[in-house]
Amino acid sequence: MKNFISANDVADIDALIDKALHYKQHPYIDSQLGANRRVGLLFMNPSMRTRISTQVAARNLGMDVIVFNTDKEGWQIELEEGAIMNGSTVEHIRDAAPVLGSYFDILCVRTFPALADRNTDYNENFINALVRYSGVPVVSLESSTLHPLQSLADLVTIRETFTKPHRPKIVLAWAPHIKPIPQCVANSFAQWVNAWGKADFVISHPEGYELSEEYTCGATLEYDLDKAIQDADFVQVKNWSSYHSYGKVLTTATDRMLTLDKLRAAPNASVMHCLPVRRNVELSDEVLDSSHSIVTHQAANRVWAAQAVLSEILKANTK
Ligand code: CP
């Protein structure tokens, strides 16, 4: 694996899940693999789980880790090729990326979308420029369109906890939110579940919240949430803003918040959410605090997902 930016970078998803679950049993089995190697975590946006789990994973592999809050501590970066930099930006990514590449063996970056212009966001200019100009492997800590470390942890959690003989029924359920949220987690989850190909996959959201078919193709769309979650094994809850009316909040539809009453149609369902979650807006207290919820388990698995990815990259790339 050269870079880890989407499911397309992974040759065998089940093998990567196996590796993550192996690290969960044996966290320090490769504690020398990353000796004398350094990973940089660049954050353009806030994070708790991704920031900490990736550091824990890197240290389990014996790596040195430096976190750089690029948005607050660095120079304002220009992404436009040929820009005349007479405005607020101070350093071009063409200059910053190779310098960062000279300091680190692996670069990880979080760069959220602005949700103003779809083409700009879906072009993924920041992470693509880092790949192009840094000269080292790049790992997404959540980009404008995808969150692959989250999705890998989600599939690790599903494989680990599902014990029935049939294919799991997995539902991605839109939930209300008070502000526009990127499509990254939903896009990414859809991409990974489809690429994994071992589940019956249903997506449910209000009309107008259709995601890009690049990620959802192969899933069943069911607008009616009650029908969608019928007999589900996993319900992944997440808000996202509109893709087609880009970045807009079209409804706050409070009746789409998952409740124990709704879950009577799926009595064995495990409820997932990537966190952070707005309680009693996206998900009710009664669900989050019930035995349905596996959100903490899911977040804990972020360590093993990150460790598997860093390990694959370390083994495949020498500077
Ligand atoms: N799920 C997730 O990425 O959490 P953070 O934003 O806290 O990293």
Output the CA torsion sign for 155, 6, 144, 135. Answer: positive
Tell me how far CA of residue 161 lies from CA of 87, 235, 264, in angstroms.
52, 13, 20
In which band, very low, low, confident or very high, does the pLDDT at 249 lie, cut at 50, 70 and 90?
very high
pLDDT of residue 273: 98
pLDDT, average across residues 111-122: 98
Q: Are residues 132 and 162 in the same domain?
A: no
Residue 188 has pLDDT above 90, yes or no: yes
Residue 209's CATH number: 3.40.50.1370
Domain membership flag for residue 270: yes
Residues 53 and 192 in one domain: no
CA–CA distances in Å: residue 221 to residues 94, 162, 215: 41, 23, 13
What would the two tokens of residue 90 be?
């101070």
Q: Which two structure tokens, joined as six digits, stand for 107?
A: 């670069």
Give the model's confidence band at 318: pLDDT under 50 very low, under 70 low, under 90 confident, else very high.
low
The strands making up 38-43's β-sheet, listed across from edge to edge, are: 64-68, 38-43, 106-110, 138-140
Is 2 domain-assigned?
no
- Within a domain: 141: yes
What is the chain's mean pLDDT, rounded?
Answer: 97
Domain coverage including residue 273:
150-299
Q: What are phi and psi of 110, to 5 degrees?
A: -110, 120
Asked whether residue 56 falls in the same domain as residue 70, the answer is: yes
Retrieve residue 123's tokens. 């072009």
Distance CA 300, CA 23 (A): 13
Task: Supply the residue whose CA is at minimum distance from atom 3 of ligand 1.
Answer: 50
My answer on whether 47 and 107 are in the same domain is yes
Query: Would residue 46 count as lying in a domain?
Result: yes
Which atom of ligand 1 is nearest to 46's Cα?
6
User: Could you tell me if the CB of 295 is within 6 A of ligand 1?
Assistant: no
Give the residues across from 270 on adjacent strands.
Answer: 234
- Co-location of 130 and 62 in the same domain: yes
Measured distance CA(209)–CA(294) in Å, rounded: 25
- Ligand 1 atom with the shortest distance to the CA of 110: 8
Same-domain check for residues 305 and 290:
no
Q: Same domain, yes or no, for 284 and 310?
A: no
For ligand 1, atom 4: residue with the closest CA: 49
- Give the C-alpha separation, 319 to 316, whole Å: 10
Q: State whether 289 and 192 are in the same domain.
A: yes
Residues 182 and 311 in one domain: no
pLDDT at 317: 81
Residues 192 and 121 in one domain: no
Select from 44, 49, 238 the residue to mutate for testing ligand 1; criterion: most ligand atoms less than 8 Å from CB.
49
pLDDT(26) > 70: yes
Rounded CA separation 46/49 (Å):
10
Kindly give, in sequence order, each residue whose CB lies less than 8 Å from that of residue 34, ignoring residues fewer than 6 positions away.
Answer: 58, 61, 62, 63, 310, 314
Q: Is the pLDDT of residue 319 over 70?
A: no
What integer pLDDT is reported at residue 252 of this predicted model?
Answer: 86
Look at residue 207 and tell me if it is in a domain: yes
Give the model's pLDDT for residue 211.
98
Q: Is the CB of 134 under 6 A from ligand 1?
A: no
- Other CB atoms within a 10 A radius of the CB of residue 162 amount to 16
pLDDT band at 265 (very low <50, low <70, confident <90, very high): very high
Whether residues 140 and 171 share a domain: the answer is no
Number of domains in the chain: 2
Phi and psi at 149, nearest 5°, equal -65, -35
Q: How many CB atoms lie within 10 A of CB 99?
A: 12
Give the mean model confidence (pLDDT) for residues 93-100: 98
Helices (H), 181-250: 184-196, 213-216, 225-228
Structural domain contains residue 1: no
Q: Do residues 124 and 255 both lie within one domain? A: no
Q: Stretch 244-257: mean pLDDT, rounded?
A: 94
Q: Is 184 helix (H, G, I), strand (E, B) or coil?
A: helix
Is the CB of residue 26 less than 8 Å from the CB of residue 124? no
Instruction: Tell me if 182 is assigned to some domain.
Output: yes
Q: What is the pLDDT of residue 253?
A: 83
pLDDT at 193: 98
The tokens for 135 are: 């000269």
